[in-house]
Every structure is written in C-alpha cells, then in structure tokens.
Amino acid sequence: MTANSDPIAVLGGGSFGTAIANLLAENGQSVRLWMRDPDQAEVIRNQRMNPKYLQGIQIHAAVEPVTQLQETLASCSLIFVALPSSALRQALQPYSAQLTHKMLISTTKGIEAKSFKLMSQILEEIAPQARIGVMSGPNLAREIAEHALTATVVASTDEALCQAVQQVLHGQTLRVYASPDRFGVELGGALKNVYAIMAGMAASLGTGENTKSMLITRALAEMTRFAVKLGANPMTFLGLAGVGDLIVTCTSPKSRNFQVGWALGEGLSLEEAVERLGEVAEGVNTLKVLKQKAEELNVYMPLVSGLHAVLFEGRTLAQVIAALMCAEPKTDVDFISLAGF
C-alpha cells in the first residue's frame, strides 16, 4: 500500500472511528482521529488505547488523536465521518467552508429524525461543493480492529472517490468493494439496525433456528420493499451492505443493536437497555422515523410496526407475535416479476 501524502481525517473517537483510523494507519497513512473530548484524546495519546470504546486494542503510532475540528478539516482532503447520526449535522454545520472540495465518506448508519435524510444527504446539504460517498457493510468495529477478514462497500457515483477509498483502506484483512448506488448502500446500513434489535430480542427468548431465519429473511423482504418505494435499486440489498450487514447484526452479540434487543428480551425497559449499553444503538431512533415514514408512504412493514408496538405502544410481545402469525398469507419474494422470471 502506498502512503497518501495528505493526512486522512477520521471524525469520531468511538469504536468505529478508532477501528478505521487504525486500519488506515496500518496501511501506511498518517491519520488525524478527531474527537470532542480532550481527556479522551489525552488517554489515547498516552496509553495508545481507547479504553472506553475499544478496550484492549493497541492504537497505531500513526494515529494522532486531535480535538481541533477546524484545523483537522483544513489539513485533510479525505475525511471519514464516524459520528453518531444524532451528532453529525450539529458537529459539521459550522465548518461548511472547510469542507468545500473535500472527499467526505460517511460511515454513519442512521436517519435524521425530522427530515428523514441519510447522513450523506446531510453532508451534501452542509457542503454542496464536497465530493460525497458512503461506506457500509458487515463491519463490526471490534472485528475490524482485531483483523478479522472483512469486506465493505464504498458507494458513490464519483468513481475516483471510490478508488481513493479503496487505495487507502484495502489491505490484508479488509476488501473494499465499490458501488455506484450510494442511496441503496446507505439505506441498507440504516435499516438493518432495527431488525437487529428484533433478532436480539428473539435470541434472548430462546427462539428456534427456523424462527431466526424467518426473521432475517422477512426483514430483508421488508427493508427492500421500503427501499424500492423510495426509489432504491433492490439488487443492492443482495450485496454486502444489504443482506450482508443484516446477517451480521442480526446474529452477532457484538452488535449493539442486537444487545439492546437481548436486554429487552431479558425484561429490561428500553431506557434501561440503552443505559446498560452506553454506546450508540442507531436502530432505536431509526425505528421511530421508519414507522412514521412507512405509514406516510403506505408501505407494508409488519415487523417494524410490531417492534414499534412493543417498544413504544405498550403492546406485549405475545400480542404482536400472535398478530404477525395470523396475518393473511403473502407472497415470498416481491420482486420476482420485476426480475422478469
């Protein structure tokens, strides 16, 4: 891997930002990892660890923890954004001038509540002159940090941007695939978090393997149906950022959304489950906005409605399961006729 001359910025000192910063550094890049908390930056500088978010992982010497956002943005032309969706707009809006002509890659898997905008759409709004892409896929931060063999997708219609990301991130343990479907790739990453909560709940209640498979497959059908209604290409959902990410988050106890679901299955309230996690679980907010949007667009999403009923409408899981199982029979794959078979 050849080193890029400019340093690369990673915004967000949580688990994903740290994991990506480390990979970039291992590939020979010099990296500025921006975080808002000076104490956290000091700990990383001194201990070469990020104990709060990635306990036990050594931080590469070429990762420089920084807290000055304006300077960081000014000094880097390639910028990975790994902030929670609730923070992204507020954190970057004041710096739109510094983002002009930069390559901005969102790794954030969430949807803005009021606008139903994806993070790359917010970046586009804040920095209309920037070059925008997203990165998404089955990418548990800890596994990336521990060098588990992993694949991800960089998506943008800007081919040179995709190649730039492939050049700096592709390595011994990470394969980076490109896609022109930014919207589909990003939407897949945001939607699957909701179903991971459901899967975590099901797992903690000891459901059978048939049930787990049914949940994941019907989740894929439902999220694809929704995405198509918004104009996305259903084929993207057969890729790493669709079914790939859905599988990892719906089956892994390392997923924070899965962990929230697991805690709910154990009988904790949503507040208790989120509090116990202490990290970002984007699926909770996504569920709220998704339920509302599905109703507005008249898209049939029984799993989303069912989870929303349990989490926010006081229904019991038994009531929701009974209603789901008794619903009128449907077809298996919605898009067979579209594919021309």
Ligand X SMILES: O=C(CO)COP(=O)(O)O
Ligand Y SMILES: NC(=O)C1=CN([C@@H]2O[C@H](COP(=O)(O)OP(=O)(O)OC[C@H]3O[C@@H](n4cnc5c(N)ncnc54)[C@H](O)[C@@H]3O)[C@@H](O)[C@H]2O)C=CC1
258 has binding-site annotation: no
339 has binding-site annotation: no
Query: How far apart are CB 139 and ligand X at their closest, in Å?
Result: 4
Nearer to ligand X, 33 or 191 (CB): 191
Q: Binders of ligand X: how many residues, by CB under 6 A?
A: 12
32 binds ligand X (CB under 6 A): no
Of 180, 137, 136, 175, whose CA–CA distance to 162 is shortest?
180
The answer to whether residues 120 and 106 touch, using CB atoms and an 8 Å cutoff, is yes
Q: Which does 200 bind (CB under 5 to 8 A by kind): ligand X, ligand Y, none?
A: none
Selected from 190, 248, 294, 311, the binder of ligand X by CB under 6 A is: 248
**Axis-axis angle for helices 317-326, 302-312 (nearest 10):** 160
192 has binding-site annotation: yes
Q: Is 48 left (phi over 0), alpha (psi -120 to 50) or beta?
A: left
114 catalytic residue (yes or no): no
Measured CA distances, 155 to 46, 66, 89, 161, 206 (Å): 36, 27, 20, 9, 37
201 binds ligand X (CB under 6 A): no
Burial class (CB in 10 A: 0-12, 13-18, 19+), 70: exposed
CB-based contacts of 333, cutoff 8 Å, min separation 6: 221
256 has binding-site annotation: yes
Query: How far apart are CB 35 and ligand Y at their closest, in Å?
Result: 6
107 binds ligand Y (CB under 6 A): yes
Q: Which stretch binds ligand Y (CB under 6 A): 22-30, 34-42, 124-132, 298-306?
A: 34-42
Partners of 31 in the beta sheet? 8, 63
Selected from 87, 151, 228, 299, the binder of ligand Y by CB under 6 A is: 87
In the region spanning residues 118 to 177, those forming contacts with ligand X, defined by CB under 6 A, are 138-140
5 has binding-site annotation: no
Measured CA distances, 168 to 1, 60, 83, 140 (Å): 7, 15, 20, 19
| H-helix segments, the chain | 15-26, 38-47, 69-75, 85-92, 96-99, 119-126, 141-145, 159-169, 182-204, 209-229, 245-251, 256-265, 270-277, 283-297, 302-312, 317-326
Q: Which does 53 bind (CB under 5 to 8 A by kind): ligand X, ligand Y, none?
A: ligand Y
Query: How far apart are CB 53 and ligand Y at their closest, in Å?
Result: 4
Selected from 7, 110, 133, 200, the binder of ligand Y by CB under 6 A is: 110
Task: Measure the CA–CA gap between 246 and 283, rounded to whole angstroms.
Answer: 12
Residue that the structure tokens 């059978």 belong to: 208
Q: Which does 123 bind (CB under 5 to 8 A by kind): ligand X, ligand Y, none?
A: none
Residue 2 carries which DSSP code? Answer: P
109 binds ligand Y (CB under 6 A): yes
Among the listed residues 52, 114, 192, 254, the single catalytic one is 192
In the region spanning residues 260 to 289, those forming contacts with ligand Y, defined by CB under 6 A, are 279-280, 282
Task: Measure the CA–CA gap between 306 and 241, rounded to whole angstroms.
Answer: 24
84 binds ligand Y (CB under 6 A): yes
Task: Measure the CA–CA gap between 28 and 6, rounded to whole angstroms.
Answer: 12
196 binds ligand X (CB under 6 A): yes
Nearer to ligand Y, 74 or 87 (CB): 87
259 binds ligand Y (CB under 6 A): no
In the region spanning residues 137 to 176, those forming contacts with ligand Y, defined by CB under 6 A, are 139-141
Q: Is 89 helix (H, G, I), strand (E, B) or coil?
A: helix
In the region spanning residues 90 to 129, those forming contacts with ligand X, defined by CB under 6 A, are 109
Q: Return the active site residues.
A: 192
Residue numbers at the binding site for ligand Y (CB under 6 A): 12-17, 35-37, 53, 82-85, 87, 90-91, 107-110, 139-141, 279-280, 282
Residue numbers at the binding site for ligand X (CB under 6 A): 109, 138-140, 193, 196, 245, 248-249, 255-257
Q: Which residues are annotated as a binding site for substrate?
A: 109, 256-257
